Chain A
Amino acid sequence: MALTDASNTVNVELKVNGKAVNADVDPRLLLSDYLRHELRLTGTHVGCEQGVCGCCTVHIDGHPARSCLTLVGQLDGSEIRTVEDLAGADGQLHVVQEAFHNNHALQCGFCTPGFLMSIVGHIEHEENPDLSDEGIRDAISGNLCRCTGYQNIVSAVREAIEGSDR
């Protein structure tokens, strides 16, 4: 997807997955489209463009946020992290990814990157995460999944929290 209108652009400096990027974009360009179609980071998915499904969740300055509800123009100076950055440089899966794999917490995988980014954010910020079924369900309640019925995602979150060195 090319720039939409060259006569009306905004310039922003960002960091995406640790790399500095200078973007000259149409001000109406959504972060989700920028990541997917310009940077070709297609792990960030789009399911509603309304903020409800959570498929497009990335980290903006360390916090989970919806890339479909963010204009690239708003992000001057921000750091963006996407699902492509979760695994280590050596290819080692992140504990949350590993826990998803161990618990069959994904089926079609379309919602998965959004869940991963929400959960990683939750684990990074929550000092005393609630490990009860209800507590974990609350924590993942901003992401929709049509395939799994959530049960295995709940198990994966529990395993990831218990397994991460905190």
Chain B
Amino acid sequence: MFGESIKRKEDPRLLRGEGSYVDDIDMPGALHAAFLRSPAARARITSIDTTVAAAMPGVVKIYTADDLGDLDMDLPLLIPHPSMRPKTQRPLARDDVFYVGQAIAMVVATDRYLAEDAAGAIDFELDNLAVELGLDAALAPDAPVVHEDLGDNLAADLVMNEGDPDGAFERADHIVEIEVTVDRSTAAPMECRAIAARFDRLTGDLLVYDTTQAPISIRGGLASILDLDEDRVRVIAPDVGGGFGQKVMQFYPDELLVPLAAIELDRPVKFTEDRTENFISSNHERTQIHRIKLAAMNDGEVIGLVDSLVHDTGAFIPYGIAVAQVAASVIGGPYRIPNIGTHLKCVYTPTVPVSPYRGAGRPHACFALERAMDQLALDLGLDRWEIRRRNLIAADEFPYHREGLIFATGTPVIMDSGEYHESLDKLEEAIDVAGFEAKRAEAMAEGKYLGLGLGFYVEVTGVGPYEGGQIRVHPITGKVYVNTGLTGQGQGHETVYAQIVSDVLSCSVDDVIVTEGDTGVFDWGVATFASRAAVVSGSAIHKSAKLVREQIIEAAANMLESSAEDIVLEDGKAFVNGVPDRPVGFAAIATASNPLRYSFSESSQVATQFAPASQHDGPPLAEGAHPGLEATDYFSPEQDTWASGVHAAIVEIDPVTLDINIDRYVLVHDCGRMINPAIVEGQISGGVASGMGGAFYERINYDDDGNLTNASFMEFLMPYATEVPHMEMHHLETPSPLNPLGMKGVGEAGTIPVAQVIASAIDDALSHLGTSPILHVPTSPSMIHEKLVEAGHLVEE
């Protein structure tokens, strides 16, 4: 099954409308929460009066910071780092608000309509303070500060170096220096975040459904913050409608307050964000300014790179410097640049906090580096493909070490494997670079502008620390149950894990049932992020499956009175080699492996027809043995795996609208061995679509006062099908040496190079008119217009 594009196991229920997303889960008698959120970016709360609101129909309780007792505290700092001056927010604002959208009060009422009515009736007054949203300006000495006790807006400052960048710049024939800006965006999963909690006063059990990507961690946090026994708290991430990083952030205030209210009010409580709330209070990402310099020799060899990046972390830094550190550590991309200097600064601004969104720093780094490579090619009069070819790390240079740069997980950069040159060659041929100039000339003759762009990227994936996989064979049905701790948000884990297991155990994929993200079932593990699920959980499940396979073979050998070497597994059954007509099924083997007193199932009748599954003396269960067929194992990667790829596009620019039309979008991608190519292609395609958003459409707009002016799908331009190109995909499968199945992650890949590809294509189409390069994304027809005016090609009165 490994390597086959089988249809997904999760589809039928989702297609029938029978998925169970958090808001779908029925909790009879549930109350519903709504929040009063700050309308100001930075302000002092001078009064809050809930009297009128509390008396409104249906209202059960209104919480403000004063009602939270011990929970009125700073929320946890998830990923500490010595470079930081960390600030995290409180569940509900106390005294001050720090961004538009910050929760001030939570209303719990009998339904959401009434909860919103009451939230709107809370009387409060704010005293507005000065704000500064520009990153450079916010770092200036006289800028208004977000956190007064810090004295300035610097949230973190970190230098990482590899080799001798200064020396390289002294030696260089040529130096390129550019400044690029990537604007703020947001993950915008189609399902907003939601949480539902129920507390059982008699047993003390707290049951929480949460759209989180990290249920185990939420469970631990809830238990410790609410002072509950960890085993009494069960957190389930059921079907989740996309996450893309936004849902790995924890704790959002509601994730704590909804369970709190369920306990205190002794009623189930539900909260489902609406789209506005998702825009103004769930984490954003993307704004970074990179000032990047390349030191090159005349033949195009890049011998040094220095990047100084400023990262907008929003009003708080709960997820640490992860996004900025990813960007800094991958800034060398796929190139053999031996000397690299990075300096990152994180800046507090009075805006929604920032944590990873699909790509998490990789798209920013790729944009900065690849724009600089294009500029270098232009300066040296070299072809854009050729300059890349001259600098790509060769296949025989792996593992490639850049240990002065530390990735956000704390591991040094060691790139495991890749076939970068082959990727580039393959793409050059697939998009027919040789034939492009003729096409361009043809288009020009019709008054159209045509450009070709490309972007190369690497994707760090499959990061540690570890994940686990538990496998057990059900004694009645013989079905194989697989449990792992991380979660899915649409990536098809149920199917790919089943493929892995079905191969090892030789059973049907249909008989493998995967459960993930339910701490009541399996509660060791970390979370879904950094394209790690297939690699880390997949490898753990593979290891566990091999253990179960041994158990099955040993038991079957005993039952069939043969030796283990002679046992063949096929289609959920075992038989002695050459005797396929006397098989024993997994159900009977599992039953026989469990010394039971009672017989109640068909499989126990079957099992009695064979010899005992275990040959040992003494009590029914041998010392040290466990009943049934079951194993749990873990995988902890020694290093991260590095996927890669290169995309190119031919883009036409309409002279009237200055809109882009993508004639062809072609990509070559390498994520090691693919478990299910259709699922891989789906991941890439979705990634490219978000990348198109970041290249040309999606920008979160804050005005100078810190108001988010486009907090809706009407104005935040997430692309429809009409704005996303058809993609032609080619694959390489360079196996990773770091895990037994040779896999690498793919979740974020598609997104990474798109802004570069589009910018590079637009430049290529227009530069003959004298336009300056696109160094700021997302770009737009209006921005292209400005470039044409600047170049004197269009005249503006």
In the assembled complex, the Cα of A64 lies from the Cα of B687 at a distance in Å of 28
Contact of A111 with B190 in the complex, beta carbons under 8 Å: yes
Q: Which listed residue (A87, A102, A136, A153) contacts B7, Cβ 8 A?
A: A102
A36, B24: Cβ atoms closer than 8 Å:
yes
Known interface pairs A144-B713, A146-B718, A149-B687; A53-B17 also in contact (CB < 8 Å) = no
Check: A97 CB closer than 8 A to any chain B CB. yes
Residues of the B chain whose Cβ atoms lie less than 8 Å from the Cβ of A154: 721, 726
Q: Is the CB of B19 within 8 A of A143?
A: no
A73 on the B face (CB < 8 A)? no
CA distance A28 to B491 in the complex (A): 37
Question: What 1/0 mask marks residues of chain A from 118 to 130 whose CB sits below 8 Å from any chain B CB?
Answer: 0000000000000
Residue of A at shortest CB range from B19? A109
Question: CA A42 – CA B32 in complex, angstroms?
Answer: 17
A143 to B720, CA, bound (A): 7
Cα–Cα distance between A55 and B242 once the two chains are bound (Å): 13
* B113 within 8 Å of A (CB atoms): yes
Q: Judging by beta carbons under 8 Å apart, are A141 and B720 in contact?
A: yes
- Given A2-B110, A108-B190 in contact, is the A133-B726 Cβ separation under 8 Å? yes
User: Is A67's beta carbon under 8 Å from chain B?
Assistant: no
Whether B275 and A47, one on each chain, are in contact in the complex, defined by CB atoms closer than 8 angstroms, is yes
Select which of B10, B11, B721 is within 8 A of A137 by beta carbon: B721
CB distance from A62 to the nearest CB of B (A): 19
The CA of A101 and the CA of B10, in the complex, are separated in Å by: 10
- Chain B residues with Cβ below 8 Å from A66 are none
**Cα(A82)–Cα(B720), bound, Å:** 22
Given A93-B15, A109-B490, verify A48-B682 contact (CB < 8 Å): no
B1-25 interface (Cβ within 8 A of A): 5, 7-8, 10-12, 14-21, 23-24
Q: Is A40 an interface residue (CB 8 A)?
A: yes
A4-B113, A40-B26, A153-B721 in contact; A146/B14 too (CB < 8 A)?
Answer: no
A93 to B18, CA, bound (A): 13
The 8 Å CB contact of A50, one of B8, B188, B275, B685, is B275
**CB within 8 Å of A: which B604-651 residues:** none
One of A82, A104, A147 near B678 (C-beta < 8 A): A104
- Residues of B near A110 (CB, < 8 A) are 19, 21, 189-191, 241-242, 490
Q: Is the CB of B7 within 8 A of A104?
A: yes
Residues of A within 8 A of B24 (CB): 36, 42
Q: Which residue of A lies closest to B714 (CB)?
A: A52
Knowing A84-B16, A84-B17, A138-B722, say if A152 contacts B275 (CB, 8 Å).
no
The CA of A153 and the CA of B718, in the complex, are separated in Å by 17
Contact of B712 among A29, A50, A133, A136 (CB under 8 A): A50
Contact between A97 and B241, CB atoms less than 8 A apart: no
| A83–B13 CA distance with the chains assembled, in angstroms | 11
A82 contact set on B, CB distance < 8 A: 17
Does residue B689 face the partner (Cβ distance < 8 Å to A)?
yes
- Complex CA gap A38/B703 in Å reads 41
Q: List A contacts of B681 (CB < 8 A).
A: 104, 151-152
Interface presence of A90 (CB below 8 A): no
B11 touching A101 by the CB < 8 A rule?
A: yes
> Assuming the A-B contacts A109-B10, A144-B720, are A45 and B15 also in contact, with contact meaning beta carbons closer than 8 angstroms in the complex?
no
**Could you tell me the distance between the alpha carbons of A108 and B242 in the complex, rounded to whole angstroms?**
6
Q: A93-B15, A104-B679 are in contact. Are A146 and B688 (CB under 8 A)?
A: no
Once the chains are docked, how many angstroms separate the CA of A2 from the CA of B58? 10
**Least CB separation from A142: chain B residue:** B720
Residue of A nearest to B188 (CB): A146
Q: Is A41 an interface residue (CB 8 A)?
A: yes
Could you tell me which residues of chain B, from 724 to 778, have a CB within 8 Å of some CB in chain A? 724, 726-727, 750
- Restricting to B683-727, which residues have a CB under 8 Å from any CB of A? 684-690, 712-714, 718, 720-722, 724, 726-727
By a CB distance below 8 angstroms, the chain A residues around B718 are 144, 146
Asked if residues A26 and B113 are in contact (CB atoms below 8 Å), the reply is: yes
Taken residue by residue from 79 to 111, chain B's Cβ proximity to chain A (1 for < 8 Å, 0 otherwise) reads as 000000000000000000000000000000011
Contacts of B7 in A (CB 8 A): 101-102, 104
Chain B interface residue count, CB cutoff 8 Å, equals: 64
B244 partner residues in chain A, CB cutoff 8 A: 146
> Known contacts A28-B113, A48-B275: does B8 contact A104 (CB below 8 Å)?
yes
Give A10 Cβ to nearest chain B Cβ, in Å: 15
Q: Does A106 touch B at the CB level, under 8 Å?
A: yes
Chain B residue with the shortest CB-CB distance to A43: B17
Interface contact A113-B17, CB-CB below 8 Å? yes
A4 touches B722 (CB 8 A): no
8 A Cβ contacts from B181-221 to A: 187-192
Q: Tell me the smallest distance from the CB of A132 to a CB of chain B, in Å.
A: 11
Tell me the bound Cα distance from A118 to B392 in angstroms: 46
A100 touches B15 (CB 8 A): yes
Check B267 for interface membership: any CB of A closer than 8 A: no
Distance in angstroms between the alpha carbons of A41 and B51 in the assembled complex: 37
**Cα–Cα distance between A28 and B112 once the two chains are bound (Å):** 12
Chain A: which residue is nearest B13 at the CB level? A109
Question: Is B682 within 8 A of A152, CB to CB?
Answer: yes
Tell me, yes or no, whether B274 is within 8 Å of chain A by CB: yes
CB atoms of B724 and A4 under 8 A apart: no
Residues on the B chain within 8 Å of A12, using CB: none
A106:B188 contact, CB within 8 angstroms: no
| A148 contacts across to B, CB distance below 8 A | 682, 685-686, 689
**Docked CA distance A146–B192 (Å):** 12
In the complex the two chains form, is B189's CB within 8 Å of A146's CB?
yes
Contact with A along B641-665 (1 / 0, CB 8 A): 0000000000000000000000000
From B10, B11, B187, B722, A141 is in contact (CB under 8 Å) with B722
Please measure, in the bound complex, the distance between the C-alpha atom of A4 and the C-alpha atom of B7, giving whole angstroms.
Answer: 43
Select from chain B the residue with minimum beta-carbon distance to A143. B720
Residues of B within 8 A of A100 (CB): 11, 15
B114 at the interface (CB under 8 A from A): yes
Contact of A4 among B20, B21, B111, B712 (CB under 8 A): B111
Instruction: Pick the residue among B15, B240, B689 that contacts A149 (CB under 8 A).
Output: B689
Q: Which residues of B contact A74 (CB under 8 A)?
A: none
Q: Which residue of A lies closest to B187 (CB)?
A: A146
Q: Which 7 A-B pairs have the closest CB atoms?
A: A43-B17, A108-B490, A110-B241, A109-B14, A149-B685, A107-B490, A149-B689
Give 23 A-B contacts (CB < 8 Å), ordered by A residue: A36-B24, A43-B18, A43-B19, A44-B17, A47-B275, A47-B713, A50-B712, A52-B713, A52-B714, A53-B190, A53-B275, A93-B15, A106-B11, A106-B14, A107-B491, A107-B492, A108-B242, A108-B490, A109-B14, A110-B19, A110-B242, A113-B17, A146-B188
19 more CB-based (< 8 A) A-B contacts, given A50-B713, A52-B712, A144-B720: A29-B113, A36-B23, A43-B16, A47-B190, A47-B192, A50-B712, A53-B275, A93-B16, A100-B15, A106-B15, A106-B490, A109-B241, A110-B242, A110-B490, A112-B14, A146-B686, A146-B718, A148-B689, A149-B688
